[in-house]
Amino acid sequence: MVVTPDNLFDAAARCLACADVEAKLAATHAAAQAFAAGRLAPAGDALPQPICAPGRPPRPRLVPPRSLAQRGLGSIEGRAALVHAIAHIEFNAINLAWDAVYRFRDMPAAYYADWVRVADDEARHFAWIASRLGELGYRYGDFDAHDGLWEMATRTADSCLARMALVPRVLEARGLDVTPGMIERLRSVGDLATVAVLERILAEEVAHVAAGSRWFAWCCEREGREPQVVFGQLIDQYLRGSLRGPFNTAARLRAGFTTAELAQLEACAT
């Protein structure tokens, strides 16, 4: 049985620090259930600890993105490598959601409700994709991975506004752009089981990006800043030369992007 603290920030810290995959999933679900039942409150005067690497298993080995091997989808190993990459994104997304809860302590109650729900969703997504990886004969950790998502979390640790703009709305939103293409490629090689998992995940990810849009706009309003101007400035500051298209316009509009913001992304993309 997972024992959950009665303070939401302590529960988030515990989930973040947990290095065992199954224990992290169980702690995440338990904390989400406790929060939904009103047993966890975002309270206390303690400041968050400086951001550091979250709890993660010793594998996968983390390497620069360019060091990752490129494999075709015509083989089981190639499809497993793709599924593993998605599993790593989902595992990171659990930590990112919990850090958004733990780190930013002056936000409305609805903010914490959103990101606890996202953490719970991402834990389910990881379990789905890890199960599919097992059906292909592999486990999480069997392939190398990179740490780009968490690196951006570290760079935005001092600003909820920047975190909301750049992690859910840019890096995680990339999944909205590339997953439909992955689905078609996997369907073309007959991997309908993986297609089914990705379609389930994609259907829920729009709401996660929308949470980033909602709280980015809220942070801008609190600071008296214009969201479109700020978004462009942050992209230029943090992602100049590394932003890639094309973009899933329909999904991003549903996730709270404006047409002007999409135009900014298009203009900055390589």
DSSP 28-71: HHHHHHHHHTT--B---SPPPPPP-PPP--S-SPB--GGGSPP-
Residue 1's pLDDT is 43
Helix or strand holding residue 77 (H, E)? helix 76-103
Q: Please, what are the domains in the chain? A: 74-268 (1.20.1260)
Q: What is the pLDDT of residues 102-153, one digit of tens each?
A: 999 999 999 999 999 999 999 999 999 999 999 999 999 999 999 888 999 9
Residue 18's pLDDT is 97
Q: Sorting pLDDT into bands at 50, 70 and 90, what band is 2?
A: low
Q: Sorting pLDDT into bands at 50, 70 and 90, what band is 5?
A: low
Token pair of 77 as six digits = 């190993």
Distance CA(129)–CA(256), nearest Å, equals: 26
Distance CA(88)–CA(148), nearest Å, equals: 11
Residue 46 has pLDDT above 90, yes or no: no
pTM: 0.95
Residue 205 has pLDDT above 80, yes or no: yes
Angle between helices 192-223 and 227-239 (to 10 degrees): 120
Residue 60's pLDDT is 96
